[in-house]
């Protein structure tokens, strides 16, 4: 479906992007709190289960958020007319480009002298380059398997800890830097139509 900037469809798409970013942010905060609990109080099966779920939701919603942003940029919810493996490779390449852009933006900010005092040393960001060539593919596969489709791969073939160790720094920068304009603090919670009207009628009838 075509998305023309300034139309009602575009406005609704932007609301959906905001909603997806909020879900991503909620998932990340659940993961952060749970992971801190593991570090401070120790690991057990139940708390690891909760941390796994929260991080898998974070991956899922970050992926969907980024794809929705690309759809708006492309003016089409399909993003590209490519089909099959060619389409998959193209979408994977967009994620690699996203990661490359946010890492380089941090490096450029440091070089310009515009970075805040709390910013990591430039060597930290240079260490994230080049972006691993399988980043886009792995991001997509883990999004599908750890939070989407229930399949044996989640249990026996995929390792979310290794994924975290390899890619978390890239994902976090994308979450913070690409999402900044969509999740910035507001004086009032945004109106997201049906999302923020959910259950209102039922509540009023009780």
pLDDT in tens, 145-156: 999 899 999 999
Q: What is the pLDDT of residues 103-155, one digit of tens each?
A: 999 999 999 999 999 999 999 999 999 999 999 999 999 999 999 899 999 99
Query: Which residues, 6 or more positions from 196, have their beta carbon under 8 angstroms from its beta carbon?
Result: 189, 190
For the question of whether the overall pTM of this predicted structure is more than 0.85, the answer is: yes
* Rg (the chain; Cα; Å): 19
**Residue 71: closest CA among 25, 23, 20:** 20
For residue 90, what are the CA distances in angstroms to 47, 73, 84? 37, 15, 10
């Amino acid at each position: 479906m075509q998305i023309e900037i300034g139309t009602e469809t575009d406005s609704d798409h932007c609301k959906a992007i905001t909603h997806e970013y909020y879900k991503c942010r909620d998932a990340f905060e659940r993961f952060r709190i749970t992971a801190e609990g593991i570090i401070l109080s120790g690991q057990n099966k139940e708390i690891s289960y909760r941390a796994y779920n929260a991080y898998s939701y974070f991956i899922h919603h970050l992926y969907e958020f980024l794809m929705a942003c690309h759809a708006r940029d492309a003016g089409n919810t399909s993003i590209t007319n490519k089909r099959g493996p060619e389409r998959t490779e193209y979408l994977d390449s967009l994620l690699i480009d996203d990661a490359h852009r946010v890492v380089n933006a941090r490096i450029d900010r440091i070089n310009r002298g515009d970075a805040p005092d709390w910013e990591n040393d430039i060597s930290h960001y240079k260490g994230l380059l080049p972006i691993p060539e399988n980043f886009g593919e792995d991001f997509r596969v883990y999004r599908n398997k750890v939070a989407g489709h229930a399949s044996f791969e989640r249990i026996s073939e995929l390792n979310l800890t290794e994924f975290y160790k390899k890619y978390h720094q890239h994902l976090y920068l994308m979450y913070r830097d690409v999402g900044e304009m969509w999740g910035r603090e507001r004086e009032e919670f945004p109106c997201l139509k049906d999302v923020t009207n959910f259950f209102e009628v039922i509540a009023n009838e009780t």
